[in-house]
Amino acid sequence: MLNQRLVRENPNLIARELSRRGMRLDLKGLQVIAQKQKDLEKRRNLLQAEGNLIGKKVGQSIKQGLDPTSKEINSLRQEGNLIKQKVNELDIEEKKAAEILRNKLLSLPNLPSPKCPNGQNETENKEIRQWGDPPIGKHFKNHWEIAESLNLFESERSARIAQSRFVTLLGNGARLERALINFMLDLHSKKGYKEILPPVLVNTKSLTSSGQLPKFAEESFRCADDDLWLTPTAEVPVTSMHRNEIIPSEQLPLKYVAYSPCFRREAGTYGKDTRGLIRLHQFNKVELYWFAHPEKSEEAHDQITTDAESVLRELELPYRVIELCTGDLGFSASRTFDLEVWLPGAGVYREISSCSNCDEFQARRSSIRTKEDKKTRVLHTLNGSGLAVGRTMAALLENGQQPDGSVVLPKALVPYFGAKQIELNQ
């Protein structure tokens, strides 16, 4: 959430920065509400102070021997009651203004970092670097063709169980998924991340805190009879682990790695990636998350991206790093690096991780702060997939495919899977 002080004092800055995202906003109305809320707060505080003085004066007068039932004491008490009544009225009015302001601010995205390149859409994203040699050729099969021949997952029966865009992993498919999850968790744990297994169901406050609500309600699955939603990413519960907390600066950064099943409607993607493991309603993901000191979040952003890259390198998967332009930036992000893995069957790079610095945006929505030298300030949050497991499996199948139909696995995964390759008729 954007800083209310910035709305009051420099709405033109907000309008200018959001215009880099392609938004055209007139924030005068919002500024008026923000100023009204601040003025009401100031008037209430002044009246409360005046009422406290009157209460103190009554106590001192009685202590000095004045009759508690005297006309002077009654007059002071009446004045105090009138002030108390007015304070209550101002408090109600202030809360209404604050709620209107908060609801409006919740719908506005984060301001892009000054380092984030300007651009209208994904065609203007900037390639930072590549790693590995992407195999190229017309003879490569798509991962779903390989999976079908190896009997790794089932789509048609899964649609019978649920609906389309769900899969049931079978045999070596389930075994490979489990191996990837364990491999990723172990790799990141060795790098100093604390492993957690958060709830899969999250409440509205948690989704609002991380930025999924109110904007992306249609993208999430909601339980009809409870204030609970299926989590779209472990980023949501991990953000709220420290909601309404003050974390001492000496404890920062807090680094978590969380495995979670994820659920997304994928609204607006009808007809896209209808086959295979790329765009499912349910998928597994290992998430990296940092609570960082505000002055060290840029450094943390580079590190969380490097840590996500290490999975691809260990798995010997060619990839590239893309910096998103302002027009392609996620709602909560200030700056984002996407990792795109090479899929030789499709002959394209596909996103497999999105590593974002959200600066104070999520922490402000969640009231997560840090304390240093007796001063309290909002900290910064960062997140990145480490990695999306289904897409990693797709990349392994396509990059490891052999002429005889088998799939050779990278050395780092062999101890987890228990074999060097997946063969036909296993």
Average pLDDT over residues 75-83: 87
The predicted structure's pLDDT at residue 424: 85
Say which of 20, 264, 335, 364 is annotated catalytic.
Answer: 264
CATH code of 122-422, in short, is: 3.30.930.10
Q: How confident is the model at residue 117 (pLDDT cuts 50, 70, 90)?
A: very high
Average pLDDT over residues 248-259: 97
Distance CA 419, CA 423 (A): 10
Annotated active-site residue 264? The verdict is: yes
Distance CA 103, CA 398 (A): 46
- Read off the amino acid at residue 354: S
Q: Using the structure block, give the residue that is written with the tokens 């790695």.
A: 257
Distance CA 314, CA 298 (A): 25
Q: How confident is the model at residue 271 (pLDDT cuts 50, 70, 90)?
A: low
Distance CA 232, CA 198 (A): 12
Q: Which residues, in sequence order, are CB contacts of 312 under 8 Å at separation 6+? A: 131, 319, 339, 341, 352, 387
Annotated active-site residue 154? The verdict is: no
Choices 1.10.1660.10, 1.10.287.40, 1.10.10.10, 3.40.50.1100: CATH for 4-106: 1.10.287.40
Distance CA 70, CA 206 (A): 55
| DSSP 8-state symbol, 413 | G
Q: Which residues, in sequence order, are CB contacts of 411 under 8 Å at separation 6+? A: 316
Say which of 41, 145, 148, 351 is annotated catalytic.
Answer: 351
Average pLDDT over residues 265-273: 67
Distance CA 360, CA 2 (A): 8
What are the pLDDT digits (tens) for 383-420?
999 999 999 999 999 999 999 999 999 999 999 999 99
Q: Over the range 44-78, which residues count as b (16 or more CB within 10 Å of their CB) and which as e?
A: beebbeebeebeeebeebeeeeeeeeeeebeebee
Cβ-based neighbour number of residue 166 at 10 Å: 17
Q: Please report which residue ranges of 223-359 form alpha helices under DSSP H.
A: 235-240, 297-314
What are the pLDDT digits (tens) for 297-351?
999 999 999 999 999 999 999 999 999 999 999 999 999 999 999 999 999 999 9
Distance CA 422, CA 406 (A): 6
What are the pLDDT digits (tens) for 169-215?
999 999 999 999 999 999 999 999 999 999 999 999 999 999 999 98
pTM exceeding 0.75 = yes
CA neighbor of 327 nearest in space, from 126, 127, 118, 128: 118
Averaged pLDDT of the chain: 94
Let me know: does 285 contact 234? Beta carbons within 8 Å: yes
Average pLDDT over residues 77-99: 91
Kindly report, as residue ranges, where domains of CATH 3.30.930.10 are found in the chain: 122-422
Total residues found in the chain within this entry: 426
Say which of 356, 391, 398, 406 is annotated catalytic.
Answer: 391
The predicted structure's pLDDT at residue 272: 67
Tokens of 402: 């052999």
Q: Which residues, in sequence order, are CB contacts of 129 under 8 Å at separation 6+? A: 320, 321
Let me know: does 416 contact 196? Beta carbons within 8 Å: no
The predicted structure's pLDDT at residue 76: 82
Q: Using the structure block, give the residue that is written with the tokens 């070596």.
A: 172
Kindly report, as residue ranges, where domains of CATH 1.10.287.40 are found in the chain: 4-106
Cβ-based neighbour number of residue 99 at 10 Å: 11
Percent of the chain at pLDDT above 90? Answer: 83
Distance CA 236, CA 381 (A): 12
What are the pLDDT digits (tens) for 95-107?
999 999 999 999 9
Annotated active-site residue 391? The verdict is: yes
Q: How confident is the model at residue 275 (pLDDT cuts 50, 70, 90)?
A: confident
The predicted structure's pLDDT at residue 56: 86
| Backbone conformation region of residue 393, classed left if phi is above 0, alpha if psi is from -120 to 50, else beta | alpha
Distance CA 194, CA 21 (A): 34
Annotated active-site residue 377? The verdict is: no
The predicted structure's pLDDT at residue 268: 56
Element (H, E) at 254: strand 254-263
Q: Among 25-39, 290-304, 377-391, which stretch is predicted with the lowest mean pLDDT? A: 25-39
Let me know: does 77 contact 113? Beta carbons within 8 Å: no
Distances (CA, A) of 425 to 172, 280, 314, 406: 11, 27, 28, 10
Q: Is the pLDDT of residue 51 over 60?
A: yes
Average pLDDT over residues 218-222: 92
- Read off the amino acid at residue 138: K
Q: Which residues, in sequence order, are CB contacts of 60 under 8 Å at separation 6+? A: none
Say which of 354, 356, 385, 406 is annotated catalytic.
Answer: 354
Say which of 279, 313, 320, 377 is annotated catalytic.
Answer: 279
Let me know: does 349 contact 342? Beta carbons within 8 Å: yes
Annotated active-site residue 340? The verdict is: no
The upper half-sphere exposure of residue 97, i.e. CA atoms within 13 Å in the direction of its Cβ, equals 20
CA neighbor of 40 nearest in space, from 103, 98, 101: 98
